Amino acid sequence: MQSRAAQIGLAIVATIVVGAVAYVLPHPAVLVAIGLAPLGGYFAFRNPFLLCLAFILFSFFRLHEAFPVMYPLKIPQMLAIGTLTVLAAHMVFRRIEIAWSRELKLFSIFFALITVGMFFATGRDLAIGYWVDTYSKIGLMVFAIASLARSPADFALASRSIVMAGMAVSCVALYNSANGIGLVEGTRVTIGRSFGSVLGDPNDLSLVLAFPLSFAVALLVTARTGWFDRALGAVGTVVVVLAVIATQSRGGLLGMVAVFAVFGVQRIKSKAALITVGLIGLIGLFAAAGISGRQSGGAGEGGLVDESAEGRFHAWGAAVSMAIARPLNGVGLNNYVANYYYYSSWWEGFAKAVHSTWFSALAESGFLGFGVFVTMIVRMVQSALRSLRELSPDGSGAAYDPAAYGMAQSVVAGIAGFVVSGTFLTQAFTWPIYVLLALTVAIGRFSGGMRPR
């Protein structure tokens, strides 16, 4: 009787809610959405990683900014709410165990330092605003991704989806380049620059595109993958490389070389041959990108150190000065640009970005935060390499799985590309490294389960 009464009460409440929503928003589409909501909720509960993956794709690749028709729909926000709701439900019913590892412990310490530090930032409004809009979501979703990616099927779906999303953004970049849309300095491609998109900076765009490259190459070269994965990897590799070339970002090009180098080390036994191929490839990429023709950092500037490189040195010097002045918490999250004038020895009339992940972490989190950040990256490298060894065909795992091994290769190559390109690009507090962190933990948990006891 009690259960029957509860069902009737729930039905009455649901009817009242539906009626109230229909009265406030009298549109047929609203009623259709309400009708489909239970089915969508059931599907999301049964497939939590799919919802999480969709959030990764929209947040990382900014698909709603690359394709502005989706921008008003607030898709990332809805996916974030849905993912966290489903994850909480699974935790209540003990269907999913929240991931925990040394990497996540270090991330938690770093996240705590950033959170506390924003209250002591030189510009608290800037720090708190960025934390609420972006960094708090990163903090939550790192654990969600690491906890929900658990099987080879999840890894295979993630690899394919990341490559497809990268191809979609690359195609938009190539279209913009061919039609002269949103170009910087007349030649460097961007996406959504007119409305302030994250992809509106060619350097940031190049780093976003370097991420799917590691997954595309892994699909192409990993043993025992199907014809579809190999074809997707081949097309994805070509399209992404062309798009990064169109950005004319030196950091992006170096990141691509680092990605290819990781796969080359595994397959080219001669170190001399590997170095030779790498140098030829780097020279070829720089020539194809037309770096010498850039307005900034091109051959026209002359001198041993061009103006673009000199500007980076001054920006890095300002970052060091900020850390020395505020060693415990730095100037605060998202506060480097606002403080550039006060700490730079070279002022050219406007503030500029630090153009380095490492110096960004140093300036905005102080020496303590920088130490934790670097330790986290080192631990990620160690964990990813261990997973790669254990999941390789001749590793210690019980059985070889191409999807898991491909993910391990992608993570190692992705970290290498980030470390190299991130040296020249400002990405300490944006999505790339944290998605790699979550996937590193996920593949590490899987390889740990394969490990002989």
Total structural domains in the chain? 2
- Give the pLDDT score at 308: 64
Give, as one character, the DSSP assignment of residue 305: S
3-state secondary structure of 184: strand
C-beta of residue 249 within 8 angstroms of C-beta of residue 418: no
- Token representation of residue 30: 């609203």
CA-to-CA distance for 267 and 288, rounded, in angstroms?
25
The reply to whether 319 and 170 lie within a common domain is yes
C-beta of residue 338 within 8 angstroms of C-beta of residue 130: no
C-beta of residue 306 within 8 angstroms of C-beta of residue 298: yes
CA-to-CA distance for 160 and 269, rounded, in angstroms?
29
3-state secondary structure of 37: helix
When pLDDT is averaged across residues 39-64 and rounded to a whole number, the result is: 76
Cα within 13 Å of Cα(162), Cβ side = 32
Per-residue pLDDT band for 374 (boundaries 50, 70, 90) equals very high
Per-residue pLDDT band for 121 (boundaries 50, 70, 90) equals very high
The reply to whether 20 and 119 lie within a common domain is no
Best CA proximity match to 65, nearest among 221, 163, 205: 205
Q: Which tens digit of pLDDT belongs to each residue from 235-293?
A: 999 999 999 999 988 888 888 888 988 888 877 776 676 677 667 776 776 676 666 55
CA-to-CA distance for 131 and 229, rounded, in angstroms?
38
The reply to whether 20 and 109 lie within a common domain is no
Backbone angles phi, psi at 272, to 5 degrees: -65, -40
CA-to-CA distance for 270 and 281, rounded, in angstroms?
16
- Give the pLDDT score at 303: 44
The reply to whether 148 and 22 lie within a common domain is no
Residue 197 lies in a domain: yes
Query: Which are the contacts of 231, defined by CB distance < 8 A and separation ≥ 6?
Result: none
The reply to whether 260 and 377 lie within a common domain is yes
Find the range with the poorest average confidence among 23-32, 72-81, 186-195.
23-32
Residue 249 lies in a domain: yes
- Give the pLDDT score at 42: 54
Best CA proximity match to 211, nearest among 175, 158, 137: 158
Q: Which tens digit of pLDDT belongs to each residue from 166-184?
A: 999 999 999 999 999 988 8
Residue 304 lies in a domain: yes
The reply to whether 21 and 151 lie within a common domain is no
Q: Report whether pLDDT(11) > 60.
A: no
CA-to-CA distance for 305 and 360, rounded, in angstroms?
22
The range of the structural domain enclosing residue 145 comes to 103-450
188 DSSP β-pair partners: 184
The reply to whether 239 and 146 lie within a common domain is yes
The reply to whether 298 and 412 lie within a common domain is yes
User: Angle at CA 362, nearest 5°, toward 301 and 143?
Assistant: 115
Residue 396 carries which side chain, given as an amino acid letter? S
The reply to whether 23 and 169 lie within a common domain is no
The reply to whether 36 and 108 lie within a common domain is no
Residue 88 lies in a domain: no
Query: Which are the contacts of 424, defined by CB distance < 8 A and separation ≥ 6?
Result: 203, 250, 251, 254, 312, 355, 356
When pLDDT is averaged across residues 396-414 and rounded to a whole number, the result is: 83
Residue 71 lies in a domain: no
Q: Report whether pLDDT(314) > 70.
A: yes
3-state secondary structure of 356: coil
Q: Which tens digit of pLDDT belongs to each residue from 123-150?
A: 999 999 999 988 998 998 899 889 888 8
How long, in residues, is the chain?
453
**Range with top average pLDDT, 18-27, 92-101, 231-240:** 231-240
Comparing 110 with 32, the larger pLDDT belongs to 110
Element (H, E) at 106: helix 102-117
The reply to whether 224 and 322 lie within a common domain is yes
Residue 363 lies in a domain: yes
Residue 68 lies in a domain: no
The reply to whether 29 and 112 lie within a common domain is no
When pLDDT is averaged across residues 397-419 and rounded to a whole number, the result is: 86
- Give the pLDDT score at 382: 95
Burial class (CB in 10 A: 0-12, 13-18, 19+), 51: buried
Q: Report whether pLDDT(219) > 70.
A: yes
Residue 4 lies in a domain: yes
**Range with top average pLDDT, 15-19, 67-71, 110-114, 314-318:** 110-114
C-beta of residue 145 within 8 angstroms of C-beta of residue 54: no
Q: What are the Cα distances from residue 115, in Å, to 136, 337, 369, 440? A: 9, 19, 11, 23
CA-to-CA distance for 437 and 444, rounded, in angstroms?
10
Q: Report whether pLDDT(453) > 50.
A: no
The secondary structure of 373-413 as a DSSP string is HHHHHHHHHHHHHHHHHHHSTTSSSSS--HHHHHHHHHHHH
C-beta of residue 76 within 8 angstroms of C-beta of residue 197: no
- Give the pLDDT score at 306: 54
When pLDDT is averaged across residues 320-346 and rounded to a whole number, the result is: 91
